[in-house]
Amino acid sequence: MSIATTGGDAGRTSLAAGGRVSKGALRVEVYGSIDELIAQLGLARALCGHEAAAVAARGLQRELFAVCDAVAQGDGVPRLDASRVDALTTEVHRIEGLEGILGDWALPGDHAGGAAFDVARTVCRRAERAAVRLQDAGEPLDPQVLRYLNRLSDLLWLLGRLVERDAGVDASLRGQADGGPRWSKAW
């Protein structure tokens, strides 16, 4: 069997639960963005040079296949357990509590692995926005998908900061002398 089935040559694809839709359908956009996120996490894992972050990224890649499946089914049946979101939240709190984790905006690019996690975060946010549009359109969606993607983007940001911290990189958007309140949009 070949992966070149030619079934999508006319711009349509099969859904996991059956039926064919346009490749431009919002549901396809959501799980396509999650697929892109899986690949981006692979790049982050390959570039980061940080064992714990790489192990976390690999686990997240595996979990995202389940998230993708929950979206692709298209029936809104809950498939993702809330414990997955709880585990992400626990990891967010753990990393936030580490000494020296950046507590302000970061400027991506001073470390390739950290920047790759930042790109993964933005892809995650895009997938989340598409999932919100899918839900807003009245399409069925596993209720844990939005929670998972929202929490995951937080974790990806923190993984980038962890990689940079442990590499001795200060990617702070503003230096200590710039002042201003934390998380401000302008200073």
DSSP 77-131: ---S-HHHHHHHHHHHHHHHTSTT---S-B-TTSSHHHHHHHHHHHHHHHHHHHH
Give the confidence band of 74 by pLDDT, cuts at 50, 70, 90. confident
Structural domain contains residue 94: yes
Structural domain contains residue 175: no
Structural domain contains residue 186: no
Structural domain contains residue 107: yes
What is the tens place of the pLDDT at every residue in 137-186? 999 999 999 999 999 999 999 999 999 999 999 888 876 555 555 554 44
Structural domain contains residue 3: no
- Segments forming the whole domain that contains residue 25: 21-168
Structural domain contains residue 57: yes
Total count of domains within the chain: 1
Give the confidence band of 25 by pLDDT, cuts at 50, 70, 90. confident
Sorted by sequence, the CB contacts under 8 Å of residue 109 that are 6+ apart come out as 115, 171
Structural domain contains residue 51: yes
Structural domain contains residue 180: no
Q: Supply the CATH number for residue 103's domain.
A: 1.20.1200.10
What is the tens place of the pLDDT at every residue in 1-23? 777 777 667 677 667 777 777 76
